[in-house]
Structure 1
Amino acid sequence: MTPTPTAGLDQTLDAGQAQATGRAVLETGHVDIGPRLRDGKWTIQVHDDHAVPPVWRDPAETVLRVRDTAVQQVPEDEAYAFLGEQPGTPVHVVPQTEKTGVVWIGWNTQDPGVLGAIDRGVTLNLRGVQGPGAVTVFLQSGNLGAPQVLWSSAKAYPQPLWVETNTHTHANWVFGKPGVYLLAVEVTADLADGSTASAGTVLRLAVGDTTEPDFDTAFTAALPSARASAAAAAADQEPSGGTGDALLFVAIALVAALLIVAALVWRQSSVRRRAERESAP
């Protein structure tokens, strides 16, 4: 799937931004998830724009805390049935647009090292979710636009997102129940030199005021194979006409098969008529 970039999110990242050390709990302000390339090593990092000056953080040492200020009720609208919750059910929502008192989670492909290395973009893959409730990430253009589901813990993994070069996007993150959530993510990229790079990590979230930040719980849910992730990523990058071309190919094959069957029937009929004429007195 290729999400539409969020408008009005122009930003430029300084190549000299520092790598923070030590554990941190981020519960307000602007943060992005994204690939980073330093000294030839690819990683997925958390870009903490709330810090002054902004810094990059290791996801293993970072907990994104979603406070109860994020609680909303599921709308009474069939358009939100994909959330898997009854209308009126309270859920924690990190909104697509920034809200005071709620950590604002997005993603970007704007690290200068990444910009200089990748070809057209990267594939950001959700490989698994571990937590007490459903997790859904979706985009929506205004109040009247139809929701575009990007990731859902109710679907099979992996779930690839194609993210173009120099993109900065924010979406709605919905968590069905309070608790600790671990999201296994992976980024893969075709590089300008023809090679391929990849990196993976686990994002840590503490949802709800009564949930303590957890730096130690390990991700133990089953993950799809690397081959499955690569296949999903390749399918996600197919041109939009790929499905139509496949259907056209199937239609042509069916017509060819019907013509062959018709030819065989006609030939059998012709042979039978000839035999009947030759055996007639």
Structure 2
Amino acid sequence: MKTPSRRLLAGIASSALAAVLAVAVPTSAQATIVELTSGHVDVIDVDHVAGGPIEVTVGDDTGSTFVERDPSTVVFVVPPAAHTAVPSGSAWSFLGSGGYAYVLPQTNTAGLLWAGWDTTGVASGALQFNRVVVKLTDVQGPGGFSIFTASGGTPTVLFDSGNGLPDSLNVNRNTHAHVNWGFDAAGTYVATFEVSGVRASNGQTVSTTEEFTFEVG
């Protein structure tokens, strides 16, 4: 609802006053950047209700209170403690050729982020097949970026910037999963993800794109 003061301003046609207001009231504010260093976090937290947009936030559960954050205000810190030897074998070649990489593991590890994604906020029946498509469209950084799972010493690569993009993954609604996040070298990475789905009601595709920043090493 408009306040009386807003109705008054809307009725004033003075260009001089408009110019003063434009200077006095900035159109945007500098967002506070939050660095996340350890604990549970859903890097890609997806919400959607029938007829609405797909919303992607960062589910920050690293503190005493869960907070949904705008991805543009978050830096995920991957510390030197994440530096690890790459297992031998060609199956692990996606982690680069240097023998070492930085990895946020899929298991909860003290001092590191336990990072994953969450689609429990997607309403049942809102999207066809009750799923979203998560697509890695671009990575800017000093080395390769990958997301993978590992079981019995064997990796399953879900996303890999080193073999060409985009990479896509179908994720069912009501999924909460943790994965390994790999970085070939130290430095700053910006990974761009598109999350999309098809509305069950009319077959229209709905999507959103967000950038995620990782500070490695």
Which TM class, normalised by the smaller chain length? 0.7 to 0.9
Q: 1:136 aligned to 2:151? A: no
1:147 partner SS: strand
- Find the aligned partners of 1:81 and 1:42 in 2 and give their Cα distance: 34
* Structure 1, unpaired ranges of 5+: 1-20, 209-281
Greater strand proportion: 2
Size of the aligned set, in residue pairs, is 182
| Structure 2 residue corresponding to 1:52, chosen from 64, 68, 71 | 64
| Structure 2 residue corresponding to 1:106, chosen from 102, 106, 116 | 116
Q: 1:82 aligned to 2:94? A: yes
1:275 alignment partner in structure 2: none
- Find the aligned partners of 1:83 and 1:90 in 2 and give their Cα distance: 8
Q: 1:35 aligned to 2:46? A: yes
TM-score by length of 2: 0.78
2:211 alignment partner in structure 1: 202
Q: 1:161 aligned to 2:173? A: no
Q: 1:170 aligned to 2:178? A: yes
- Find the aligned partners of 1:148 and 1:60 in 2 and give their Cα distance: 29
Greater helix proportion: 1
- Find the aligned partners of 1:82 and 1:122 in 2 and give their Cα distance: 25
8 Å contact from structure 1 (residues 74, 85) kept in 2: no
Q: Give the aligned residue type for 1:200.
A: T
8 Å contact from structure 1 (residues 74, 90) kept in 2: yes
8 Å contact from structure 2 (residues 54, 195) kept in 1: no
1:100 partner SS: coil
- Find the aligned partners of 1:185 and 1:102 in 2 and give their Cα distance: 22
* Structure 2, unpaired ranges of 5+: 1-30
- Find the aligned partners of 1:180 and 1:196 in 2 and give their Cα distance: 32
| Structure 2 residue corresponding to 1:187, chosen from 175, 189, 195 | 195
1:222 alignment partner in structure 2: none
Deviation for aligned residue 1:153:
1.1
Deviation for aligned residue 1:94:
0.5
**Structure 1 residue ranges, 4+ long, deviating more than 3 angstroms after superposition:** 37-41
8 Å contact from structure 2 (residues 59, 68) kept in 1: yes
- Find the aligned partners of 2:100 and 2:95 in 1 and give their Cα distance: 12
Deviation for aligned residue 1:207:
0.5
Q: How does 1:110-125 map to 2 (within 5 A)?
A: 110-111=120-121, 114-116=122-124, 117-119=126-128, 120-125=130-135
Give me the CA root mean square deviation.
Answer: 1.8
TM-score by length of 1: 0.61
Deviation for aligned residue 1:50:
1.6
1:81 partner SS: helix
